[in-house]
């Protein structure tokens, strides 16, 4: 009987330097798409997938991130007194119960693999998910839930994957495909940020993973990979040769790279237009702005 996936690791120790000066005083993960922080999108997705324990790998300066999930008694009382029950409901969705969330420090920025390894004592001997908050994915069914359902059939290790343009492939970890089964592919190799001529495919790993505890043991060696960092893809690739249990999952949804300014702006437009209370006014503004720019050219 396969174990349920009930724990998720959120590596959130990065400095967010691409978003300076905003990230000088606030964590990148609480920058907002419309009116909801990036981290809230990730938490909501994890909850929908059945995650019950949330493990944050943080670093110095992330106190605001921890405060975000704490209760806010004064604000709650104010909203309740004013009868603003709709806003109170929204607020409570950002509050985590005691014991539901744990924080682990990553003392040195040694890579994604190292960040995941830092949470090893909280995982024990069970499968776990990893969610990268930079990757915000708009989907009818949350992507991690799609993966959990597929994982119930395959077991092993699973990475979210999507086709990328060959010109951009060198920015990703890429899958070397053994067998293509549609939404699922079995994997015979993984290459982190290869040169264009060395790319085994254009099927890229995106920031959602379901992994076995053996991955944490593989990370124990602290081997450095691409960029001199401890790469999670290298630890997963070891499982291909020893256990042949690594799968790529082509998810249904639209992914936005909110680790880049352009991707963050694209996500803001997409999520703004998807909001019933904002779409008409926002769409009219965008149309008017584009028409003015064309007229000025």
CATH number of the domain bearing residue 17: 3.90.550.10
- Distance of alpha carbon 188 from alpha carbon 267, whole angstroms: 33
- Rounded mean pLDDT of the chain? 89
Would the pLDDT of 54 be above 90? yes
Q: Residue 144 falls within a domain, yes or no?
A: yes
Same domain, 80 and 98: yes
Would the pLDDT of 223 be above 80? no
Task: Please give the torsion angle defined by the CA atoms of residues 171, 175, 176 and 181, in that order, rounded to the nearest 10 degrees.
Answer: -140
Q: Give the H/E segment covering residue 174.
A: strand 173-180
Same domain, 175 and 140: yes
What's the total number of domains in the chain?
2
Q: Average pLDDT, stretch 254-276?
A: 94
How many secondary structure helices (H) and strands (E) does the chain include?
11, 13
pLDDT of 62-88, one tens digit each?
888 888 888 888 888 898 888 888 888
Unique residue bearing structure tokens 């209370």: 277
Same domain, 279 and 227: no
pLDDT of amino acid 230: 82
Cβ within 8 Å of residue 200, ≥6 positions away: 174, 175, 176, 177, 189, 191, 194
Same domain, 203 and 297: no
Same domain, 282 and 193: no
Same domain, 255 and 268: no
Q: Residue 289 falls within a domain, yes or no?
A: yes
Same domain, 137 and 58: yes
Q: Residue 2 falls within a domain, yes or no?
A: no
Q: Residue 1 falls within a domain, yes or no?
A: no
Would the pLDDT of 227 be above 70? no
Same domain, 296 and 186: no
- Distance of alpha carbon 198 from alpha carbon 174, whole angstroms: 10
- Distance of alpha carbon 151 from alpha carbon 92, whole angstroms: 31
Same domain, 104 and 212: yes
pLDDT of 5-20, one tens digit each?
999 999 998 888 898 8
Q: Residue 219 falls within a domain, yes or no?
A: yes
Q: Average pLDDT, stretch 122-142?
A: 93
Range of the structural domain that residue 144 is part of? 7-259
Q: Average pLDDT, stretch 151-167?
A: 90
pLDDT of amino acid 68: 86
pLDDT of 236-248, one tens digit each?
988 888 888 999 9
Same domain, 101 and 150: yes
Unique residue bearing structure tokens 């293509």: 180
Q: What share of the chain is helix, strand, coil (3-state, %, to 5)?
A: 40, 25, 35
Cis peptide, bond prior to residue 252, ω within 30 of zero:
no
Nearest CA among 241, 268, 244, 258 for reference residue 206: 258
Same domain, 40 and 152: yes
Unique residue bearing structure tokens 């998720």: 8
Q: Residue 133 falls within a domain, yes or no?
A: yes
Q: Residue 266 falls within a domain, yes or no?
A: yes
The residue count for the chain: 297
Q: Residue 74 falls within a domain, yes or no?
A: yes
Would the pLDDT of 99 be above 80? no
Q: Give the H/E segment covering residue 285.
A: helix 279-296
pLDDT of 172-200, one tens digit each?
888 988 988 889 999 998 887 878 777 88
- Higher per-residue pLDDT: 3 or 126: 126
Same domain, 139 and 76: yes
């Amino acid at each position: 009987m396969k174990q349920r996936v009930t724990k998720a690791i959120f590596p959130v120790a990065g400095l967010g330097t691409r978003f300076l000066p905003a990230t000088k005083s606030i964590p990148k993960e609480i920058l907002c798409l419309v009116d909801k922080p990036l981290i809230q999108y990730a938490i909501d997705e994890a909850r929908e997938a059945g995650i019950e324990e949330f493990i944050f790998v943080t670093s110095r300066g992330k106190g605001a991130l921890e405060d975000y999930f704490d209760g806010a008694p004064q604000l709650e009382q104010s909203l309740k007194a004013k009868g603003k029950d709709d806003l109170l409901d929204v607020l409570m969705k950002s509050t985590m119960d005691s014991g539901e969330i744990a924080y682990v420090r990553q003392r040195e920025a040694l890579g994604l693999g190292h960040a995941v390894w830092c949470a090893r004592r909280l995982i024990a001997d069970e499968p776990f998910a990893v969610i990268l908050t930079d990757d915000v994915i708009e989907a009818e069914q949350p992507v991690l839930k799609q993966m959990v359902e597929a994982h119930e059939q395959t077991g092993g290790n699973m990475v979210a994957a999507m086709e990328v343009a060959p010109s951009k492939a060198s920015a990703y970890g890429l899958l070397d495909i053994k067998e293509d089964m549609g939404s699922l592919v079995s994997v015979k190799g993984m290459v982190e940020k290869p040169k264009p001529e060395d790319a085994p495919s254009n099927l890229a790993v995106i920031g959602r993973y379901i992994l076995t505890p053996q991955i944490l043991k593989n990370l124990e060696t602290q081997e450095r990979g691409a960029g001199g960092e401890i790469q999670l893809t290298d630890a997963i690739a070891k499982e291909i040769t020893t256990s042949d249990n690594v799968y790529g999952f082509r998810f249904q949804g639209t992914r936005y790279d909110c680790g880049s300014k352009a991707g963050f702006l694209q996500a803001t437009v997409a999520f703004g237009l998807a909001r019933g209370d904002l779409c008409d006014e926002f769409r009219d503004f965008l149309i008017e702005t584009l028409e003015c720019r064309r007229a000025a050219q």
